[in-house]
Structure 1
Amino acid sequence: MKRRLPISLILFFIFKTVFSQTAPSADIATIKQNLKKMNVLGSVLYIAAHPDDENTRLLAYLAQEKHYRTGYLSLTRGDGGQNLIGTEQSELLGLIRTQELLAARRTDGAEQFFTRANDFGFSKGPDETLKIWDKDKVLGDMVWVIRKFRPDVMICRFPTTGEGGHGHHTSSAILAQEAFSAAADPKRYPEQLKYVQTWQAKRLLWNTFSFGRINTTSPDQFKINVGGYNPILGKSYGEIAADSRSNHKTQGFGSAKQRGDAFEYFKTILGDAPKIDLMDGVKTTWDRVKGGDEIAAQLKIITNNFDDDAPENSVKPLITLLGNIEKIPDTYWREQKSIAVKELIAACSGLWFEAYTAEPAYAVGDSADVQLQIINRSSVNAAIKSISSSADKRFKTLNEDLPNNQLKTVNFKIKTEKISQPYWLESPHGIGSYTINDDMKVGNPENPDALSVLFEFVVDGKVINISRKLVYKYVDPARGEIYQPLEITPPVTANIADKVYIFNSTQPQNIKVKLRSFTDAAGDISIKPLNGWKITPEKINFTGKKKGDEWTVNFTVEPTNSKSNTSVFEVVTKANGQSFSKGIQHINYEHIPNITLFPPAQAKLVNIDLKIAGKKIGYIQGAGDLIPEALKQVGYDVHDLTENEILNSDLSEYDAIVTGVRAYNVNERLVYEQPKLLQYVKNGGNLVIQYNKNTDLVTNNIGPYPLRVVNERVTDENAEVTILDKQNPIFNYPNHISQDDFKGWIQERSIYMPQTTDPHYLLLLQMNDAGQTPQKGSLIISHYGTGRYIYTSLVFFRELPEGVPGVYRLFINLLSKPKNSN
């Protein structure tokens, strides 16, 4: 299958992403590390399936000790996992984990790449995974990254034989083996060869492991001691690895720092087996390229003569070195090393420069006010020749000298041409992969065409061009100077108050839409017509809106009949002659840059036959979910219970108490609160426990009788469900539950199902994936005292926010204990 590639080459070879701060580190340790890297012409690409799969200790060792160009290719962005620090799911979680990976790479020194594959949740085998992902497209992305990155050695985290325990893991190894050969074959993905050459890595290795009970290492395997200490950085690679891995906060992967010898083991999968060194048979010095001998000799002199107290003394020889590097015929290493030596020249000369905007956001089509600051903090002879914009190619000639330690400020305008939507979210996508409209962007962790400024300097007579990303900079009274990504927005955004609106009668509902203007604007707000719904008014005009104005409009929506119906309510905003259907969403965590995206201005309208019993629900928060909001949407009074309320108040006022997902994994106080919760059940209450992982439980006494959580799943969202006790009130009060209520689910059915043989428990549902043993642990109840205890591993936390009708009906039944049930 051929994939279309666009003509533009503007983004060619742009892979590496830095944090929003525009100027990279220029301390002596960084300069010395980068001087060492100048002498190395080797590259390694590590391949796995998800954020957190990478071996950060090995990456740190390869990048910082061996000085190879080191990359991690994660096939997915981790969209399908759970979130331990917030409520974001799916692509929102993928955005966070993308930034966590970039933070990890800034720590360990490697680079980050992705394919278009979507983490659709746990998969039990590669056959399912590769079918859902669309193997050909994902393989093509991997080949594209390999041909651009040109790794000498490729390393898999997982084997093809299933020891990784996840279909995505196994698939990453299967695809890596095929990509190893396909990247070298001109008949595979030939459309790419207009922009890149074929590439054959020397070898593909499997980085064997010992995880828990699974040990795939053996004494006869090739091994490397990666536990060394880097005196320039002042850290061991185990310490760097822990800092890197601890960036994966959404997964709770804070890691202890390791010191001392540590061995990594490897099994050769394809190519020549290494005997002495990972790079056996690969030239990793300047001998690799024509004309490299002179460059290596120059670098030796520069390194030997480097003066920590006067790094500017190295500028003249570095400029000579740059001239020689620019003459080498190898385009790949010429490109890589020219960029690196230019940054070294800037660092050694104390040349600091950045570009930032006056405001955090600008509407597309407007001009952004940009301030450029430049300073030469050494005696090096330097001048700023010109500056130019990456967006509109606007050019400004300066030709001004940069005297020692004199800050120069230049004001500049840049035309904004495209909203700053993450490129993989620009178009709707299916379950298996993102839709990427421009294949040249594939592999990049962020938008490679983000606004930037090109600075043209003359340093000691040599013209040097260096680009800096355009960001927003401000001062926070508590945190100091802060850099954040610049937002390029639609002229007016429209945020609908709720994601889902549940109708269980023909009564109308009011839908609030919050508008925000990012420019001076006039226009109108309208709703796309929908069959089966009456929406008034059809259009609302607005005039005289200024940048920063916010206002709310109201639409009345009602079903035109009582039939079940699910439709999409879409807001179209016309402003200054442009039409958009976008909201705006911010994701803010202190450990990563702010994330801004523009989701469709849409909400689901779900008309279902829904009966409600009870009113007041107590909720105990877990790792983060949106179930309280879903319950409020259908009329429940949901109260977040505090520890004091659980231990010291009368809980009988609650018709049901619900624990959030993974509550017994993340809430350490539940070990003390559990006896009071069970007493609530014994006295007639209704307790609903949602899924928990089988590891790191704060108490093993989750239920009133023995109950053990295990890692058993049903991952097929369409798996057949058998109701084992159709007469049970769970399936009849207040809503009658049938097979139809298990239609339309997303991602999976049930995860981390419990097991029990205690006769006090009733097992109510049976389900299984194809070829698997039937499982009965997804919904378990017990009558305890005069109350009802429920443990469910059904994925309500995914289904309710998506407005799946049958899930609402079933969950409400869990909350509704009949008065005479005991």
Structure 2
Amino acid sequence: MRKLFFTLSLLVVVGTVVAQTAPPADIRTIRQNLKKLNVLGSVLYIAAHPDDENTRLLAYLAQEKHYRTGYLSLTRGDGGQNLIGTEQGELLGLIRTQELLAARRVDGAEQFFSRANDFGFSKNPEETLKFWDKEKVLGDMVWVIRKFRPDVMICRFPTTGEGGHGNHTASAILAQEAFSAAADPKRYPEQLKYVQVWQAKRLLWNTFNFGNTNTTSEDQFKLNVGIYNPVLGESYGELAAESRSNHKTQGFGSARQRGDAFEYFKTILGDAPKADLMDGVQTTWSRIPAGASIGAEVAAITKDFNDDAPQNSVKALVGLLDKVDKTIATDKAMQTVRLTATAAADYEYWHKQKTTEVKDLIAACAGLWFESYAAQPTYALGDSMTVNNQMINRNKVPISGLKVDGGGETIKAMTGTDNWNLSASEVTTVPFDNKDLRMPLKVLSQPYWLQTSHNIGSYVLANDTLAGYPENPYAPKVSYIFNIYGRDISYNRTVQFKYVDPARGEIYQPVVIAPPVTANIAEKAYIFNSTQPQTVQVKLKAFTNAAGSVSVKPVAGWKITPEKIDFIGKKAGDEWTVAFTVAPTDTRTNTAGFDVIVTANGKQFSQGLLQMRYEHIPSITLFPPAQAKLVNISLKTAGKKIGYIAGAGDLIPDALREVGYEVHPLTENEILNGDLSSYDAIVLGVRSYNTNQRLPYQQPRLMEYVKNGGNLVVQYNVNNPLVTREIGPYPFTIVNQRVTNEDAPVTITDSNNPVLNYPNKITQDDFKDWIQERSIYMLTNLAPEYQTPLQMGDPNDAQSKGALAVANYGKGRFVYTSLVFFRELPAGVPGAYRLFVNLLSKPKN
């Protein structure tokens, strides 16, 4: 059974710049949106993970064809590797969610997700669908299709396995089922209280040619998506590279491509396209009854648009908005006669989409700018928030009679400020600073899919209608109503915190709504190998005035003192640390949870604070469970001092310090010129030979260290690219071979090997309770000098000895392991600790 481990540490990486909340209003954006206004068509692209999407095709569909374009990624990429930090699991999924949103801001598509969890590499779709809970994930897909109403659906992968990953194949299988299920009122009928059934015109497979797999052919339908857009000033190959380069955790920085580039398609379901992707679909305003005249008016506004005076188009756009509304109102009165329920729903769908587009164009052309800012970055749940609302009418369009209201989507409406005359020369500020007008905060800023615990395969949603959203839909909002040329027009803005950084200028970040007091435990796991007590420190932070206590949930087999620690008189922003003494009650192997409970102002909370900041995405804040892991194991150590050479990022150094090792990060100067003999072992972090460009120059010194009696341990690397292929003293080949079943049997083929006996005797029991997988990117073609004491393989797969290779070289020892210690040690897996310690412990000669 796969297990879930949630990282609890506080992470502050680097600063971030967040895009402003007002939509872009530059001339090229206005031009593109005017073109989009005259297109009524939609395309939904479907795959399994962040980075699976074809960014060049998405950019072409959204920016050249001006279709409403969406990408449905079934997972958030939680099970992948991280090249820019140490986050794994849900934390990595949060980062990759924001990377996808950053990519969509570039290519112009929209982003959606299901509740499926990326539990790691899967070799077949059967395993994937078993873990995902197929019916629930399929229901999410049907929900997104019924809401988005795509005319064309496109899969990245086929159902026949050429995509390699079982998640990939499963995404195609589910897309085929969802294509039909979305149109069937008997499937997921509970959704029909909110949406109508929907039948897309066709489902296509976007065939591909990458790696050693070419699924394209010239008899397939194809599109040239490499064309140049003079309004944007770049081709879609250039735009796609910028979009894809946001997938930094995956190392997918891409070169800009110029010139023709063809995408190929196979028809899976529905009518095959012949001349155009949208064959058989009406994508003009003629799609709407009485809509042809609207299309003509849009064309006229576009023709008359003046780049130097966009405000001259505002009056016509306001008239267009009136006409769109009047057309829908007239048709509603007649739809029982003229329209089927499906056609009426399609009509209302496009009315909503196009109304939003027209309103945004009105604001952009008018030079109307408005945003809402909180007075501070963080507030406590149950408190209220002071908001300043700023606006300016920069193009001198007649705008009057505005209203600012803190109602939003989830906060109940309250009286706002009415009847302001908006200045054309200076910023107008409308503050919600009266006590009765301050915005009450009722919803924690916790990602909706992480609000409750979940199994390995899928998240638990409080409400199925949340499916699809990339982020929380209930962030605090302020609504505005402006009267422009006699028409009341409403808008929403999400409340942000804005400040000025001396080095980077104006910075936006999401407002955080936190528990009254959070509790962060110093370590994620505490390893005991005796009944000797340890001190567990808990760092507390108040977000409001608070008094209460901190306690730990009792757990069998452990003595925890004191039972409770009181606090009083804490103010917002206060931080303090409390300590508990913890000891096992006996020497038996025992694993338990250490759960902190904070009682603040009469209510109980059990949440930590975690913040992640990277420059390419907005800051991320969440409140994970305030818990750690207590592990009592029989563990012997030998040696004390470890040198560590960082790779892509892992938490192994912290895990080693937890069991008493002194871990020193080695600099290049220390490697090349220092006394390496002082280290009992030197360890290379995961993917070092993929990411550290200096290793080829350091390699001779490392081999000299081994030859002179040292112990070098190299953790896994992917097979390509490698900065050098001469990793060990003797040759071997890294291949993309994995053991993905964490419960797969492990055979000990050399029970007398020192790495299985010193200082801990390794048995089959040490391979129990591993998480996510056993081994990735294993070895083959090993030179005869290597000893391979372990053999393993997934069910029905060939057994491999490539997970652990050991060779004596000179007076020392070289170890290469593709076992996933970078997952197991932070998770506190006892057997993984025992084996890794053995790898660090070369017996004395």
- 1:712-758 deviation digits (Å, cap 9, x = unpaired): 10000000000111111111111111101100000000000011342
Aligned in 2, Cα 1:291/1:395: closer, same or farther, shift over 3 Å?
farther
Aligned counterpart in structure 2 of residue 681 of structure 1, from 693, 701, 706: 706
| 308-317 or 348-357, which deviates more | 308-317
Aligned counterpart in structure 2 of residue 490 of structure 1, from 498, 515, 518: 515
The aligned counterpart of 2:355 is 338
Per the alignment, in what secondary structure is the counterpart of residue 326 of structure 1? helix
Residues in 1 aligned to 2:827 and 2:70: alpha-carbon distance in whole angstroms: 36
The aligned counterpart of 2:89 is 90
Per the alignment, in what secondary structure is the counterpart of residue 745 of structure 1? coil
Per the alignment, in what secondary structure is the counterpart of residue 680 of structure 1? helix
The aligned counterpart of 2:392 is 375
1:318-717 alignment, distance < 5 Å: 318-327=317-326, 328=328, 329=332, 330-383=347-400, 384-390=402-408, 391-412=411-432, 413-717=438-742
AA aligned to 2:162 is: E
Per the alignment, in what secondary structure is the counterpart of residue 593 of structure 1? coil
Residues in 2 aligned to 1:648 and 1:380: alpha-carbon distance in whole angstroms: 70
Task: Report how far residue 20 of structure 1 moved.
Answer: 5.1
Q: Does 1:737 align with 2:755?
A: no
Is the Cα contact below 8 Å between 1:50 and 1:76 reproduced in 2? yes
Is the Cα contact below 8 Å between 1:715 and 1:750 reproduced in 2? yes
Residues in 2 aligned to 1:167 and 1:774: alpha-carbon distance in whole angstroms: 20
Task: Report how far residue 392 of structure 1 moved.
Answer: 3.4
Residues in 2 aligned to 1:166 and 1:265: alpha-carbon distance in whole angstroms: 21
Is the Cα contact below 8 Å between 2:733 and 2:782 reproduced in 1? no
Q: Highest relative contact order (Cα 8 Å, sep 6+), 1 or 2?
A: 2
Residues in 1 aligned to 2:555 and 2:672: alpha-carbon distance in whole angstroms: 50
Task: Report how far residue 622 of structure 1 moved.
Answer: 0.3
Residues in 1 aligned to 2:392 and 2:18: alpha-carbon distance in whole angstroms: 21
Task: Report how far residue 395 of structure 1 moved.
Answer: 2.6
- 1:191-235 deviation digits (Å, cap 9, x = unpaired): 111110100000000001100211110010000011111111111
The aligned counterpart of 1:131 is 130
Q: Does 1:248 align with 2:247?
A: yes
Aligned in 2, Cα 1:525/1:300: closer, same or farther, shift over 3 Å?
same
Residues in 1 aligned to 2:823 and 2:358: alpha-carbon distance in whole angstroms: 49
- 1:381-408 deviation digits (Å, cap 9, x = unpaired): 1121332332232231321111312210
- 1:648-695 deviation digits (Å, cap 9, x = unpaired): 111111110100000000001111111111111111111111000000
Q: Does 1:207 align with 2:227?
A: no
Residues in 2 aligned to 1:297 and 1:616: alpha-carbon distance in whole angstroms: 77
The aligned counterpart of 1:11 is none
Residues in 2 aligned to 1:449 and 1:232: alpha-carbon distance in whole angstroms: 35
Per the alignment, in what secondary structure is the counterpart of residue 763 of structure 1? coil
Task: Report how far residue 19 of structure 1 moved.
Answer: 6.3
AA aligned to 1:765 is: L
The aligned counterpart of 1:15 is none
Per the alignment, in what secondary structure is the counterpart of residue 406 of structure 2? strand
Q: Does 1:64 align with 2:63?
A: yes
Q: Does 1:225 align with 2:224?
A: yes
Task: Report how far residue 512 of structure 1 moved.
Answer: 0.4
Unmatched 5+ stretches in structure 1: 1-17
Per the alignment, in what secondary structure is the counterpart of residue 168 of structure 1? helix
Is the Cα contact below 8 Å between 2:417 and 2:430 reproduced in 1? no
The aligned counterpart of 1:3 is none
Residues in 1 aligned to 2:489 and 2:703: alpha-carbon distance in whole angstroms: 71
| 54-63 or 322-331, which deviates more | 322-331
Is the Cα contact below 8 Å between 2:405 and 2:413 reproduced in 1? no
Residues in 1 aligned to 2:57 and 2:606: alpha-carbon distance in whole angstroms: 45
AA aligned to 1:312 is: Q
The aligned counterpart of 1:303 is 302
AA aligned to 2:371 is: E
TM-score (structure 1 length as normaliser): 0.97
**Runs of 4+ residues deviating >4 angstroms:** none
Task: Report how far residue 323 of structure 1 moved.
Answer: 1.4
Per the alignment, in what secondary structure is the counterpart of residue 386 of structure 2? strand
- 1:9-58 deviation digits (Å, cap 9, x = unpaired): xxxxxxxxx96521111111111111110100000000001000000000
The aligned counterpart of 2:142 is 143
Residues in 1 aligned to 2:635 and 2:740: alpha-carbon distance in whole angstroms: 27
1:19-34 alignment, distance < 5 Å: 21-34=20-33
Residues in 1 aligned to 2:390 and 2:153: alpha-carbon distance in whole angstroms: 41
Per the alignment, in what secondary structure is the counterpart of residue 495 of structure 1? strand
AA aligned to 2:808 is: H
AA aligned to 2:417 is: T
Task: Report how far residue 316 of structure 1 moved.
Answer: 1.1
Is the Cα contact below 8 Å between 1:643 and 1:673 reproduced in 2? yes
Residues in 1 aligned to 2:420 and 2:357: alpha-carbon distance in whole angstroms: 25
AA aligned to 2:265 is: F
AA aligned to 1:596 is: T
AA aligned to 2:420 is: E
| 316-325 or 219-228, which deviates more | 316-325
Unmatched 5+ stretches in structure 2: 1-16, 333-346, 433-437
Aligned counterpart in structure 2 of residue 724 of structure 1, from 723, 742, 749: 749
Residues in 2 aligned to 1:423 and 1:197: alpha-carbon distance in whole angstroms: 25
Residues in 2 aligned to 1:19 and 1:622: alpha-carbon distance in whole angstroms: 28
Residues in 1 aligned to 2:672 and 2:748: alpha-carbon distance in whole angstroms: 36
Is the Cα contact below 8 Å between 2:611 and 2:621 reproduced in 1? yes
Is the Cα contact below 8 Å between 1:392 and 1:414 reproduced in 2? no
Is the Cα contact below 8 Å between 1:385 and 1:458 reproduced in 2? no
The aligned counterpart of 2:817 is 792
The aligned counterpart of 1:14 is none
Residues in 1 aligned to 2:18 and 2:794: alpha-carbon distance in whole angstroms: 42
Task: Report how far residue 562 of structure 1 moved.
Answer: 1.0
AA aligned to 2:161 is: G
Per the alignment, in what secondary structure is the counterpart of residue 364 of structure 2? helix
Per the alignment, in what secondary structure is the counterpart of residue 359 of structure 2? helix
The aligned counterpart of 1:122 is 121
Per the alignment, in what secondary structure is the counterpart of residue 312 of structure 1? helix
- 1:159-202 deviation digits (Å, cap 9, x = unpaired): 11111111011111111011000100111111111110100000
AA aligned to 2:279 is: D
1:756-771 alignment, distance < 5 Å: 756-771=781-796
Task: Report how far residue 638 of structure 1 moved.
Answer: 0.2
AA aligned to 2:54 is: N
Per the alignment, in what secondary structure is the counterpart of residue 762 of structure 1? coil
TM-score (structure 2 length as normaliser): 0.94
Is the Cα contact below 8 Å between 2:404 and 2:478 reproduced in 1? no
- 1:66-117 deviation digits (Å, cap 9, x = unpaired): 0000000000000000000000000000000000000000000000000000
Residues in 1 aligned to 2:536 and 2:211: alpha-carbon distance in whole angstroms: 51
Residues in 1 aligned to 2:839 and 2:782: alpha-carbon distance in whole angstroms: 22
AA aligned to 1:410 is: V
Per the alignment, in what secondary structure is the counterpart of residue 30 of structure 2? helix
Is the Cα contact below 8 Å between 1:20 and 1:469 reproduced in 2? no
Residues in 1 aligned to 2:275 and 2:720: alpha-carbon distance in whole angstroms: 40
| 139-148 or 378-387, which deviates more | 378-387
AA aligned to 1:763 is: T
Residues in 1 aligned to 2:61 and 2:595: alpha-carbon distance in whole angstroms: 50
AA aligned to 1:297 is: A
| 94-103 or 230-239, which deviates more | 230-239
Per the alignment, in what secondary structure is the counterpart of residue 84 of structure 2? coil
Residues in 2 aligned to 1:761 and 1:731: alpha-carbon distance in whole angstroms: 15
